[in-house]
Structure 1
Amino acid sequence: MAVPDDSALLNSTFSPYNVTAMVNSSSCTDWPPVPMTEIIPSIYSVICVLGIIANTLAVCVLAHASASRRTVANTFMLNLCVSDLLFLLSLPLWAVYYSQGYNWPFGRIACKISGALHNLNLYASIFFITCMSMDRYLALVHPLRSQSARDPRRAKLMCILVWVLACACSAPAVALRDVHYIEVWDVEVCGISFPDHTWYRSMVWMKVLLGFLLPMIIISCCYCAIGRHLLSGSGLIRVQKGSHYGSTFKSSGSQDSCSKPERPPTPCVNTSPRGGRPVEGRGLERVLWTVAAVVLAFFLCWFPFHCVTFIDILMKENLLDSCWADWTIQNLTPLTLCLGFSNSTINPVLYCFIGNHFRGRLGALSKGLCVRLKTREEDHSQKRGSFSTRLSSFSRKLSDLKELAIVEASGHA
């Protein structure tokens, strides 16, 4: 059996026990190792807690949206949050894995499921972000021509296609991942054992190309076109109805209206046949900042990890051999992967909580929940009060009966 070459952390490009051996026997004594068993579990804990809270709130709000709010944007966003949430639920297992010195105590099935959730999220989240970017491009740049294409039913079919494609991309890693006992270090690692170098090369390049480069090119092209479109209209942009990703988008149930600042008055430009809400002044600036934040978050979260992966490819092909490259692969791979995982926490913040519509629906949902809880408490209090009243009445009647019995007994006497 080939030595697992990808067993350290989910789907990273090194194995933890080889890291320890390489660090201890390495001639690069000036490059101290990073204490992964202490740092990684702490980072994972923060990402897990914040990510689960944010994505759970997002799923609750999006899943309880009314029929008029079930737009293409919300459909992609809901699936993205579900993908992130499924992965984040498996993150505590990997935190324990690191804290125990790369020892996997949860068994073979848990190893495969956790690895499958990671790989599925790696591809599905990026594919959904790409779909959302393309939908935003169509809604802003081609609002008239894209009306028939931007249909919620078609969006659901696209989501099914994304899940199938993500499962297909994850299948090889899931099939090869297993628990391997390493006698030298007395640990059971949850990792991938590649049959040969061709398998390793193919899977790594698929991860780099399909999981980063191609989506990044599509996203960048979409937002560059959006930026040119927004800046070319003298700050007066009409957004198609029902395509809200934030406070600058209006739902499909809105009436035709035009928002104008008090001073100076600004004319409205309507390029939508059914009306919508223009983006003016600070609204335009908000859209541009949101666009920049989406692209930067995607790039900053995943670019470092794929850079380290590319360095590892060069070393495996004997095109690079140096202490800094060796140290980078051994120590920065898990850290950059943590940065990539943080994108699961950032996603609901960028796409949901920035928007006034989402915050309003979250507030309404919370208010409704509080009202229901208060109503239950009042009902419970009323029932308890009614029971207390009946008990008091019964006690008074019982007391009256006792007094009556005493009076009758005295009369007989």
Structure 2
Amino acid sequence: ILNVTMSGNQSNTSENHCIVDNNSLIFTLVPPYILVISVLGIIFNVFVLMVFCLHKKACTVAEIYLSNLAGADLALVCCLPFWAEYTRKRYDWPFSESLCKVSSAVIYMNAFCSIYFLVMVSIDRYVALVHPLSHERIRRPLYAKLGCLFVWGLGLVFALPIFIYRKLDFKPQSNLTKCSLDLPSKNQYLAYEVITIIFSFIIPIIIISFCTVRIFQSLNNRLMEGLNSKKMEQKATTLILAVLLAFLICWVPFHVTKILDMLRNTGILKCHIALIIVQQISVYFAFFNSVLNPILYVIAGNNFRRRAKELSKQWNNKTTETFSLMSTRITTLRLTKSQATL
């Protein structure tokens, strides 16, 4: 099952009681869905990165975090076509073991990094609105870039076990080659899952929830006091809150089913086909977040739309200048040839 690529090894008991039928709609509907998510995610996130990175104006602290979030989303959706093919072939891995390791690690790493970029941007909004004066010195682009490097490094560390222990496992009874996580013991698997849930879900959700509540309180206080001096900050916060809400809606079901899956592997919960279906839906719903974020930038991001328009005008001006220069050179060449003929 695709959730194995992100939630780890499955016990033999669970495999015997949770077998997806070969005629399941999963094998018909999921591959094209993943491919659509991949194509849209690549196009949209490349557009976001172009707007943030190619614009002549330097990015703000929040935009640095959002551009890194777009980079994480882009890397994630680039690996999804391999899993679309894996699902289409009834979970028979058709590629090499190295690709099994790398694609799994990249998906895991970027899913991990995404939530911590949102943690960073939540803290930035919290500081900007709740402590605008006393903490202004820490809201600098250099610190934001160093924070992003730290998040990428942390994501790489947490993805190392995926890269090391993800292996191809041939099943003679089904004649299928699985790409699965093969940790040395069940206790190590459970320890890894618990640590992952704590660091990739519980801790980030606590921080984001705290910051979001304080941000709403600050915005309400400003409205009640009739303060409009920070209108730009409030507009930026609207976009951030929209991205946070979309992330929570898309990813919380995945992490909840991940916890249920861990309980199933410990024997606390019995396996049921309904749990498998919910797991499938939650995984694919989580992937949709990589497409949803760029759409939110356009809908709720006034500053992003302005950047996109300015970049478009900048390119149009360059294109006009290029065509004008080419036209001038062609005219000069024609005049030179006509004079030479005369």
From 185, 189, 197, the equivalent of 1:200 is 189
Q: Distance in 1 between matches of 2:96 and 2:165?
A: 15
Structure showing greater Rg: 1
Alignment partner of 1:369 is 2:315: yes
* Matched residues, number: 341
Contact 2:30 2:84 in 1 (8 A): yes
Question: Hey, what does 1:44 align to over in structure 2?
Answer: 34
Q: Distance in 2 between matches of 1:50 and 1:206?
A: 32
Q: Per-residue displacement from partner, 1:105-161 (whole Å, max 9, x unpaired)?
A: 221222211111111112111011000001000001110011111121111221121
Q: SS of the residue aligned with 1:249?
A: helix
Greater relative contact order (Cα < 8 A, sep 6+): 2
TM-aligned CA deviation for residue 337 of structure 1: 0.9
Q: Distance in 2 between matches of 1:116 and 1:72?
A: 28
Alignment partner of 1:93 is 2:76: no
Question: Hey, what does 2:159 align to over in structure 1?
Answer: 170
Cα 1:291–1:33 change in 2 (3 A) is farther
Query: 5+ unaligned residues in a row in structure 2: which ranges?
Result: none
Question: Hey, what does 2:242 align to over in structure 1?
Answer: 293
Alignment partner of 1:154 is 2:143: yes
Q: Distance in 1 between matches of 2:91 and 2:20?
A: 19
Question: Hey, what does 2:232 align to over in structure 1?
Answer: 249
From 303, 327, 342, the equivalent of 1:357 is 303
Question: Hey, what does 2:46 align to over in structure 1?
Answer: 56
Question: Hey, what does 1:119 align to over in structure 2?
Answer: 108
RMSD over aligned CA atoms reads 3.0
From 172, 177, 190, the equivalent of 1:188 is 177
Cα 1:224–1:36 change in 2 (3 A) is same
Contact 1:12 1:337 in 2 (8 A): no
- AA aligned to 2:131 is H
TM-aligned CA deviation for residue 14 of structure 1: 6.4
Q: Per-residue displacement from partner, 1:46-75 (whole Å, max 9, x unpaired)?
A: 2212221221111112112446x3322122
Question: Hey, what does 1:253 align to over in structure 2?
Answer: none
Question: Hey, what does 1:406 align to over in structure 2?
Answer: none
Question: Which moves more between the two structures, 291-300 or 356-365?
Answer: 291-300
- AA aligned to 1:38 is T
From 279, 303, 308, the equivalent of 2:252 is 303
TM-aligned CA deviation for residue 224 of structure 1: 0.4
TM-aligned CA deviation for residue 189 of structure 1: 2.3
Q: SS of the residue aligned with 1:306?
A: helix
Cα 1:385–1:328 change in 2 (3 A) is farther
Q: Distance in 2 between matches of 1:122 and 1:95?
A: 18
Q: SS of the residue aligned with 2:183?
A: coil
Q: Distance in 1 between matches of 2:338 and 2:195?
A: 76
Give the share of equivalent positions with the same residue, in percent. 29
Question: Hey, what does 2:125 align to over in structure 1?
Answer: 136
Cα 1:362–1:207 change in 2 (3 A) is same
TM-aligned CA deviation for residue 238 of structure 1: 5.3
Question: Hey, what does 1:408 align to over in structure 2?
Answer: none
Contact 1:90 1:117 in 2 (8 A): yes
Cα 1:328–1:389 change in 2 (3 A) is farther
From 326, 339, 345, the equivalent of 2:272 is 326
Cα 1:114–1:308 change in 2 (3 A) is same
Contact 1:108 1:179 in 2 (8 A): yes
Question: Which moves more between the two structures, 177-186 or 126-135?
Answer: 177-186
**TM-score, structure 1 length as denominator?**
0.74
Query: 5+ unaligned residues in a row in structure 1: which ranges?
Result: 1-5, 27-31, 241-247, 251-278, 398-413
Q: In proportion to residue count, which structure has more helix? A: 2
